[in-house]
Amino acid sequence: MSHALPVPRERGMGHAAALEAKLKNRTAKIGVVGLGYVGLPLAIEFAKKGFATVGIDLDKTKISSLQKGKNYIQDIPDAHVSEAVKNGTFRAQSDYANAGDLDVIYICVPTPFTTNKDPDITYITSAAESLAGSLREGQLVILKSTTFPNTTEGSVLPIFEATGKKVGEDFFLAFSPERIDPGNQKWTTANTPIVVGGVTPNCTRLAVLANQQIIEHVVAVSGPKVAEMEKLLENIFRSVNIALVNELAKLCDRMGGINMWEVVDAAATKPFGYMPFYPGPGIGGHCILIDPFYLSWQARAYDFETNFITLAAETNESMPFYVKDLVFKAVAELPIRLRDAKILMIGVAFKRDVDDTRHSPAIRIMELLIDDGAHNIDFTDPFVDRLWVKGRDFTAKPFDEATIKSADIVIISTDHTQYDYEFLVRNVSCVIDTRNATKHISDPKLREKIVLLGSGHKSGLR
């Protein structure tokens, strides 16, 4: 008589089963650490689905705003925040009190780099240490902050296991990188596919289930390192391709007679094997600028140089210097010195139609011009009211005839769709267009005023 062998089960199934039940019946309590561009939309999505959600952020200004139901993230409808606060599904706090009551906790804190471009994951480790103080059995922690491979297992996991609890048995840990595109109305937190990699199979399964409560398509991978690396690949892919067209744009200006924007549009007619990327004044935001340096830093620990990736990052970082040189050449054609020239920046956000100024190339251009003696710089931006650059407080000017006509040189650094670019060109003597925002202007007299980056004119000049 034969007997069937028992099916092996991963230890900790009791805690896993309990959490699974809570997620499925929506009684799980959700916590989100870091209420910025990633964390707040995530928290509000859970609150909209009826989960009791707690947002944690050390910035008391943010907490005060949220406690009043006031939103500060452009991509979330204001009503979603106020309704979540009003109905009690979302509350915000500036400490880790009662973190032990939470069932699923997302870490969505910043990951900057140092002045030497080395990764700074102190926000991650600080959050992990704060959570470890109240870590209880059955909790799931999901790290979303963009970082380098082995952060989850090499830096976060030891902090939690120092409590004496075992991952995959007593608590669960996974990495699921953010995929936020500020200003994108089509792809949001709810409908953008995401990747999840857990430290153990139980961790992966529960992290997938947690994310499926608010996200349509969740893809499981074999572990955190794969998820961490794929996030870097996403952003380095963009960095490399943007660097390619930026370098070719400068070459077109050097050669003369070839408009790089026309070249890209022509290539984009190919229905396979190509996707268009466009030149510009540099790259900004959090991920695309930083991620190449995160990976190159880690690669050096393995005696490996990411030459190709680093060169692309350096090419993109050189673009604000190139724009500065275009300004110098334009000033040379005017009967005025740089220190006396009135320069107006059109747009200072890092990309079109958003209010995010993190690592904006426009700000870098302003810094370079100030360093080289420019004294009269102003900006206008429908989404940004104030800037602090080089110890100076800048307040946005209105986009009107008086502001434009008072400028000697205008730099289109961010191509917001709200602007009337023909009106702009008509009312100024020189426009340096780094985004091809003036492409629809066909009047030859107006086009004579435009210095277009990558236009094919010698050094970008008319």
Structure tokens at 266: 């022509």
Q: Is 203 in the active site?
A: no
Structure tokens at 403: 């502001």
Structure tokens at 431: 């426009």
User: How far apart (Å, rounded) are the C-alpha atoms in residues 437 and 457?
Assistant: 17
User: How far apart (Å, rounded) are the C-alpha atoms in residues 194 and 197?
Assistant: 10
| CB neighbour burial string for 310-343, b if at least 16 within 10 angstroms, e if fewer | bebbebbbebbebbbebbeebbeeeeeebeebeb
State the catalytic residue, choosing from 108, 203, 252, 287. 287
DSSP string for residues in 210-251: HHHTT-S-EEE-S-HHHHHHHHHHHHHHHHHHHHHHHHHHHH
- Residue 263 CB-density burial (10 A; 0-12 exposed, 13-18 middle, 19+ buried): middle
User: How far apart (Å, rounded) are the C-alpha atoms in residues 59 and 124?
Assistant: 16
Nearest to 67 by CA among 90, 47, 50: 90
Question: Strand, helix or coil at 359?
Answer: coil
> Are the CB atoms for 422 and 411 separated by under 8 Å?
no
Amino acid letter, residue 266: A
Q: What are phi and psi of 100, to 5 degrees?
A: -65, -15
Question: Strand, helix or coil at 126?
Answer: helix
Q: What are phi and psi of 445, to 5 degrees?
A: -65, -35
Question: Strand, helix or coil at 451?
Answer: strand
Query: Who's near 274: CB < 8 A, 6+ residues apart?
Result: 267, 268
Neighbours of 114 (CB within 10 A): 10
User: How far apart (Å, rounded) are the C-alpha atoms in residues 324 and 368?
Assistant: 7
Strand pairing of 194-198 and 172-175?
A: antiparallel
Active site residues: 287
